[in-house]
Chains A and B, each alone.
Chain A
Amino acid sequence: MAKLGPAHYSPYPVAVYEQVLTPPPGKALMFTEIVDEEQAMREAAKAMLTRENATIFPGPQVLYAWNEEAKEKAKLIKEMAEVLDAKIIPMYDYRPKYPKIDPEVEINPNHPNLTIWHNKIKACIFIGVHCHYANVALKIIRSETDCFTIAMCSQAGHEDAMITLRDQHVEEIEKFIEIAKEVKKELGKA
């Protein structure tokens, strides 16, 4: 995405209006630039390690043990959170919560900004969130907050995130964790 938020309401600044599209296979998107996956992973790790209250938002595709890959990814996400010193707040389903969510323990795609405001989150990773809800949530976050968003997507990615890593499966997440360990060492935080 072109700029960090908050971009406020209207005109709604969705990335495609600014000709920002998802990256081609094998590449990643960093703001408006198509870059190598490794470079984007380094920047993502740096953002998570240097910005306040970094948080990982795992979605239903990794929270629930519905296939072997999901089980593997769950272990890796826990490890990732340890390496990045990040909190985990689940997006466990997409139902609108009535009468209100508890922003300390959950995030909802219909108003993700509440969780980000409440916990003062300045960097986050979306992982395992179904595409259409990730798109909605990332747009709202960009519009309403100054949170640095990173999308680790198992499919084509999300142009509304500040960093988009596409085709992220077990192997890629392992690679990200290794890179995060290196970046942590470089930053003197290991």
Chain B
Amino acid sequence: MSFKIYKVNEEFRDIVPQEVIDLEERATWGNPKRGVMDLPVSKELLEEHSLCAGCPESAAIRYILASLPNPEDTIIVNSTGCTSLVFPHISLHTVHSLFGNQNSVASGIKRVLEWRFPDKVKDVVVLAGDGATVDIGLDYTLQSFFRQEKITTICFDNEVYANTGGQESGLTPKGHVFKMAPKGKQFEKVPMWQLAIDSGCHYVARLTVSSPKKVERVIKEAIYVAREVGPTYIHLYTPCILEIGLNSDDGLDEMRARDKERFAFFEYKTPEAEEVIAKYKAEGLL
């Protein structure tokens, strides 16, 4: 994949819709300094989405897409869940894996890309929900960390299986009651960020998406570290406002409230990761 696939042939410029021309001319391609501050003035890589109104996950995806340092050479692997409603709409290469299989698929893609394009930087980013990352796909997620695959894994944690009606997941906090979990969760939330550290991730972060700039920094650091050192993991709180009984405009307040408790910002970096981050900072890319 390269930027050329977005260049419309001269002969057809008069017949393609303006949004396609905008994607070529106004999207922030070929600029590793791109970020969330470009959102109001540039063409977004997400044209539209079919998530619920006010869903914090949609904000998270917009921030992530705006923060990818190398979007024209980034492959996104996703899995079943609310997020899979969005990925068909984004203008990057995405691969929808079997439920839970996303880190295995991403490992294969990364290895093949390294072999096929040894002179090019190709980033592989996994974006999946808590069900795919921590329940159904925990084995594959951790195995990819053990194998030191150079991929970035981002978990959208909404603490519930939301689009199937509200079943508890491994990331549901103890005691939470949902429509399909009437007795309340009987055991503690899985500390996935800690498992990621213990399994060999070189960069781990846990945060909500209440602060776009913070999301941008974390995404860029994780991708740069994955590119040069090994696996990285980001745990994002993106609450399902419907399943926890909030209104469409309550998502940001909910995330700000959790910023002060179980999703207080947490970051872990190995010494190798620190080195890479310092290098990119010196280059002005962070």
Pick the interface stretch among B12-20, B147-155, B231-239.
B12-20
When distances are taken between beta carbons in the complex, the residues of chain A under 8 Å from B247 are: none
Given A96-B88, A105-B17, check contact A58 B12 (CB 8 Å): yes
A106: B residues at CB distance < 8 A: 17
User: Does A60 contact B5, Cβ atoms closer than 8 Å?
Assistant: yes
Most interface-central of B11, B50, B89 (chain A CB within 10 A): B11
A170 at interface (Cβ–Cβ under 8 A)?
Answer: no
Interface assignment of B7: CB less than 8 Å from any CB of chain A:
yes
Measured CB to CB, the closest approach of chain A to B64, in angstroms, equals 18
B4:A65 contact, CB within 8 angstroms: yes
Let me know if B91 and A95 touch, CB within 8 A. yes
Q: Which residue of A lies closest to B7 (CB)?
A: A65
Given contacts A74-B12, A90-B15, A106-B17, A95 and B6 within 8 Å (CB-CB) = no
Which B positions have Cβ atoms within 8 angstroms of A?
2, 4-12, 15-17, 20, 47-50, 88-91
Q: Return A169 CB to nearest CB of chain B, in Å.
A: 16
Q: How far is the CB of A4 from chain B (nearest CB, A)?
A: 27
B9 contacts A93, C-beta separation under 8 Å: no
Q: Which of A64, A78, A93, A106 has the largest count of B CB atoms less than 10 A from its CB?
A: A64
Partner of A95, one of B2, B5, B47: B47
Q: A64 contacts which chain B residues (CB < 8 A)? A: 4-9
CB distance from B93 to the nearest CB of A (A): 12
Q: Does A9 contact B (CB under 8 A)?
A: no
Label chain A's interface by main secondary structure.
loop
Q: 28 A–B contact pairs at CB < 8 A?
A: A60-B5, A63-B16, A64-B5, A64-B7, A64-B9, A65-B4, A65-B7, A65-B10, A66-B5, A66-B7, A74-B9, A74-B10, A74-B11, A75-B11, A77-B11, A88-B12, A90-B12, A90-B15, A90-B16, A92-B16, A92-B17, A95-B47, A95-B89, A95-B91, A98-B49, A98-B89, A102-B17, A105-B15
* Residues in chain B near residue A66, CB distance under 8 A: 2, 4-5, 7
Complex Cα gap A133–B47 (Å): 20
Are B15 and A70 within 8 A (Cβ)? no
**Any B CB within 8 A of the CB of A3:** no
Query: B9: which A residues are within 8 A, CB to CB?
Result: 62-65, 70-71, 74
The complex places the Cα of A65 from the Cα of B11 at a distance, in Å, of 10
B12 contact set on A, CB distance < 8 A: 58, 63, 74, 88, 90
19 additional A-B residue pairs with CB within 8 Å, beyond A62-B9, A95-B91, A96-B89: A60-B5, A64-B5, A64-B7, A70-B9, A71-B9, A75-B11, A78-B11, A88-B12, A88-B15, A89-B15, A90-B12, A92-B16, A92-B20, A93-B20, A93-B91, A95-B89, A95-B90, A98-B49, A98-B89
Beta-carbon contacts under 8 Å, A52-105 to B: 58, 60, 62-67, 70-71, 74-75, 77-78, 88-90, 92-93, 95-99, 102, 105
Decide: A95 near B88, CB < 8 A? Known: A64-B4, A65-B7. yes
The CA of A132 and the CA of B237, in the complex, are separated in Å by: 36
For A70, the chain B residues whose CB sits under 8 A away are 9
Q: Indicate if the CB atoms of A65 and B8 lie closer than 8 Å.
A: yes
**Cα–Cα distance between A77 and B20 once the two chains are bound (Å):** 19
Q: B225 CB to closest chain A CB, in angstroms?
A: 31
Once the chains are docked, how many angstroms separate the CA of A75 from the CA of B11? 6
Q: How far is the CB of A174 from the nearest CB of chain B, in Å?
A: 15
The residue in chain B whose Cβ has the minimal distance to the Cβ of A64 is B5
Return chain B residues, CB-CB under 8 Å to A93.
20, 91
User: Which chain A residue lies CB-closest to B87?
Assistant: A95
